[in-house]
Amino acid sequence: MHQFRLAVLTASVAFGSGGCAAIGIAVVGTALGVAGGTGTAYTLDGIAYRTFTASIEDTRQAALRTTRRMDMQVEKDVALPVEEGKLETREIVANAGDRKVFVELEKLTSRTTRMRVTAKQGWFWRDRATAGEFVAQTADAVEEGPALSRKGVK
């Protein structure tokens, strides 16, 4: 209940501040996710973020295991073109009933990957609960995966 009140109050302040609303929403959404103790950060528009201590390939494999575990149909699994000055990025798109789940994996280092998950229902609605569960299930799959990536052993 406390988080709900905090979210309502913060959203009111963010939307009332005009041009700075986008910044406020991102910061507050991240704070709410961390305050919940999930290890996953959220924006108020339903995007879930998490950084894993695993290579981009290990995180990709864990995400694909998650799609199977959650009975999702993978529509796309591609490496995005790397532009100059940009990091290696992969995209996975899966269907879950009437929702489409977009997973972006960004290689930060050889053993660190940032995941961004958005679950969309139609054009407008985003499903934060599904995005958060996808991240949680992927975290479990990463833990089940190869120990070399997690522990940093060469």
Residue 113 pLDDT more than 60? yes
**Cα four-point dihedral sign 85, 113, 135, 62:** positive
- Give pLDDT tens digits for 75-111: 999 998 887 777 899 999 999 989 999 999 999 999 9
DSSP 8-class letter at 46: S
Q: Provide the whole-model pTM.
A: 0.67
Strands (E) located in the chain: 41-42, 47-52, 73-79, 89-96, 99-109, 112-121, 125-126
- Give pLDDT tens digits for 34-75: 443 457 766 656 789 999 999 999 999 999 999 999 999 999
Q: What is the mean pLDDT of residues 119-146?
A: 89
CB of 39 within 8 A of CB of 50? yes
